[in-house]
Amino acid sequence: MKKIKMSDILLTVCAIAIVCGIGSLTLRGKKTTEKLIIGDWYQQWSDSLTFSIYDDGTVNVPGSYGLGKWSLVNDNQLILSDFYGETIILKIENIDADNMEVRQVIDGKESQESITFWHTADGAQTIRVKGYH
């Protein structure tokens, strides 16, 4: 049987520490869809707030009565329900820290055209070319 040297143990421990460190940095840098959704949203070309999503599961749609609820299904379907229970389903095509591109789902079918929402009114005035962010 081969003897285990102290240098082999130290080398193994260092390798494990490096792998764990890189893994935690990678995960820390990624934001989950749920975290990216939180905040104010302005529809492309609009100065008016479209809706605000809060981390407690509520949503505020200006001009509607009370707070509604929101949920995220399969990490790509945003479901917004107003105070009265009327629901809008938005399939998230792309999301980052600045904007999200969605397609509305009506009667189980996705709309042909996508809608882009921005976290700021200034961002909503930005021209966005696919492939460039």
Work out the widest C-alpha separation in the chain, in whole angstroms: 77
Q: Rounded to two decimals, what is the model's pTM?
A: 0.71
pLDDT in tens, 91-120: 999 999 999 999 999 999 999 999 999 999
Q: How is residue 56 written in tokens?
A: 């407690």
**Is residue 86 classed as helix, strand or coil in its secondary structure?**
coil
Residue extents of the structural domains in the chain: 1-30, 33-124
Fold of 33-124: Lipocalin (2.40.128)
Burial track 12-44 (b if 16+ CB lie within 10 A, e otherwise):
eeeeeeeeeeeeeeeeeeeeeeeebbeeebbeb
Top-confidence residue, 12 or 121: 121
The rounded mean pLDDT for the chain is 83
